[in-house]
Amino acid sequence: MQQKGASLVRLTAVAASSNFNSLASRTLEREILSKIRFLKNEASKIEGLAYAGFETFRGSPYTSCARETGQNSRDASTGDAPVQVAFNLREIPRSEVPFADQLQHSIECCLRAPGDLKTKEHLERAHAQIVAPAIKVLEIADLNTTGLTGPVEDERSVFAALVKGDGVTNKSDSTSAGSYGIGKNAAYAVSDLQTVIYSTCYKNKEEEKTHFAAQGRLRLISHNDGGEKLSAEGYWGNENFAPITCISEVPGWISRKDVGTSIFSVGFREQDRWADRMRLSLATNFFLAIRRNEINFSVDGVKLNQASIESILESVSLAEIAAASDENANLERTKKLMLCVSSDAAIHHKITVQDLGDFDLHLLIAEGMPREIHILRNGIYIADNFGRFGLPMRAFRGTKEYIAVLEPARSEKGKKPSQLLKQLENPAHDAFEPERIIDLLAQKAARRQIKELISKARDIIKSAAKMEEIDHSHLDELSHLFATGGGAGNGASADAETDPNRFKYGEARKSVRKRAIAASKTRKAKPQRGKDPKRTERKKANKSDRIRTPQGGVHAIPLDQVRSKVPQGSNKYSRTIFFTPEVSGNAEITVAASGLSEDVDLTITSVSDGSVVNGRLNVELIKGKRRTINIIFSEPFAGPIELIATSLPVVPNEG
C-alpha cells in the first residue's frame, strides 16, 4: 500500500512537471509567434519622429484623443442602446507586457542612430517608460458598438482600415462623423512609446459567432538592428504582420469578451489633470449626443451621461480646467447651446433645401446670447460658420440677442444633408470647405445648396428675432440738402460736426450713398431714389408713437441729427460721434460699417463717455440732450458708419 502511494506521488509529480513544461512550451511558442516586426527599409529612407498623422494632434493631445476616439465609437453604434466609452489609466507590470524586452531593444537601436536633440530627448523618455517596473497604459473601451468588423485578413475590412490603413476609412455608415481615417492617430499622440494596441470582438454579417482579434502598431524612427535596415513602422502580432485571433494568446489585460473595441495607448504620457482635459473635450463636443442619450462616457471614474451632463458643464472643476486651458469661450458657448436645445422657450424650425433634404434649426431668443448660429452633425459640435462659402453667419444686425443650432434632420430626409456636410468637413472637424468636393458640378451644387440653407436660416432668425423698429441712423447722408454755392467755409471750427467723407457742394442733387467694400476698403457710389418729405415725416411720427408703447422689454431708441467725424491728426481707429436721442433711458449703441455686403459690427474698445460692454457703447441718454462721444475701434476703419441704438433692460431696485 505504501509503495502504491509512493507511485501515485511520483505519477502526480510527473504529471505536474509535464503540465509545467507544456505551459512553458506554449508560453515560449506564444513569445516566438507574437512579437514586434518592423517593415524593412530597403531604400534607406530616413524617417523621423515627426509623422504627420501624429503631429496633427500634438498641440492638444488629450482634447484630440477624447474627441477622435469618442467619435469613432459613436460611428460604430449598433443602435440598440447608448454607446458607452470608458477612459481608464492602468499600470501594467512590465512582465505582463509581452513585447517589453523587444521594444526596449528597438528603442536602444534608435538611440544609436544619428538624430537631433529633440529626437534624442523623446527616445530617452520612451526608454525610461519601457524599463520601468510598471508601464502606464490608457485603456479606451467601448460597448454597444459593432467592434472592428472583419474578416481581419480582408484588406477592405474595418479592422484592417483602422490598424493598418493610413488616410482611409471603411465605416459602413455614409453619415458617420469621421471621414478621413486620420483621427485614429490621436491615440498615439498621448503615448511616449508611440505604441497603440487594438483589441476587438465582432460578429460578421449573418453570423452569431463572436470573433476576437488583437494587434499593436508603433512608430519610432528608421534604424539598423544587427545590420538589418528597418523602417520606423512596426507591428506587434503574429507572423507575416497578422493579428492575433486566439484570445488565450494575449495577456488578460488585452483580451475582451464583449462585442466592441478596446484601444490601449501604451506608455501613456500622464500630465496634470489629464482626465479633466478629456472631460472638457467630451462635454463641449458631444453635449447634444450625450443629452439625447446616444452616447455615455466615463473618464477616470467620472460619468458623463444624460443625467449628469448639465451639472458637469456647471461644475467648478470644469470651469477651472477651461480657464487653465484657455477654453473659457468654448465652455460658455456649450452652456448656451445646451440651453438652446433644452429650453422650453426655444423654437424649432424645419428647413427644406431643394434637391438635398431637411435641416433642423433650434432658435433661442434671450438676453445675453451672442447672435450666432452653430452647426452640429450626429450630435457632435463642428463649427459656427460657413466662412469658406462667403457666409460667416455672425451678428445679424437688427435682431434681438439669440443663439441657434443648425443640424441635419434626424429623419430619412436628413441623411443626404448629413452626407453633404461630411464631404465638406475638414479633418480638424472645425470648418466646411467646398473645394473638398473635386467634381466641379457637384461642388457647384453644394455651394448653391449651402447658400440656400443659410439664406432660409437668416430669414427665419430675422423674422423671429426682429427688433421692434430698430432705427438705423446713417451718417453719410444730407448731401442733397445743400444748394448751389454751399461750402464748408473757412471759419469752421476744429470741433465742427462734419462728415469725414467730404463732398464738394455745387448744384442741388439727389442723395448719393457711399458703399464701403469690406475686402478692399474702397468706395463705390450707388444712387438712391429720392424721398417724399411728407411721407418721411408721417413715417417718423408713426415710429415715435410705436416707440412710446414698446412690446417687450427691449426696443429701439431713435437718434436725431446724427453726425460723425475723424478727429484731426488721429488715425483710423478714432471717431467722434454726435447725436440727439428722442427718448430717455439707458441704451446700448452698436456702431456698424454702413452698407457692407455682409453684416459687420465694429468693435469698440474705449469711449470718452459711458462704458464698453461686448464691444458696444452703453450710455445713459436724456431726451433732447445733444451728445458728443469719442470712440476707439479695435481695428482701423475710415468708411461710413451707422448707429443702432436699443434700450437696455431696467434692473429693479433691491428692497
Nearest in space to 109 (alpha carbons), one of 201, 208, 277, 231: 231
Residue 652, domain member (yes or no) = no
Q: Are residues 121 and 131 both part of a single domain?
A: yes
Q: Are residues 196 and 294 both part of a single domain?
A: no
Residue 3, domain member (yes or no) = no
Q: Are residues 120 and 265 both part of a single domain?
A: yes
Name the pairing type of β-strands 574-581 and 559-565: antiparallel
Number of domains present in the structure of the chain: 4
Residue 20, domain member (yes or no) = no
Residue 593, domain member (yes or no) = yes
User: Which residues form the domain of 501?
Assistant: 472-487+495-647
The pLDDT of residue 310 is 93
Q: Are residues 242 and 307 both part of a single domain?
A: no
Q: Are residues 390 and 432 both part of a single domain?
A: yes
Residue 2, domain member (yes or no) = no
Residue 472: Cβ-neighbour burial (10 angstroms; 0-12, 13-18, 19+): middle
The pLDDT of residue 413 is 96
Residue 12, domain member (yes or no) = no
Ranges in the chain, pLDDT < 50? 1-32, 174-180, 469-531, 533-552, 596-597, 654-655
CA distance 474 to 111: 70
Radius of gyration of the chain, Cα coordinates, nearest whole angstrom: 33
Q: Are residues 258 and 285 both part of a single domain?
A: no
Q: Are residues 508 and 621 both part of a single domain?
A: yes
The pLDDT of residue 545 is 40
Q: Are residues 260 and 283 both part of a single domain?
A: no
Q: Are residues 410 and 477 both part of a single domain?
A: no
**Helix, strand, or coil (residue 236):** strand
Residue 101, domain member (yes or no) = yes
Which residues are paired to 380 by β-bridges? Answer: 377
The pLDDT of residue 24 is 43
Q: Are residues 448 and 562 both part of a single domain?
A: no
CA distance 402 to 339: 11
Q: Are residues 130 and 264 both part of a single domain?
A: yes
CA dihedral sign, ordered 239, 244, 245, 251: positive
Which of 227, 243, 271 terminates a domain? The answer is 271
Residue 400, domain member (yes or no) = yes
The pLDDT of residue 651 is 57
pTM over 0.75, yes/no: no
The pLDDT of residue 594 is 64
Q: Are residues 416 and 298 both part of a single domain?
A: no
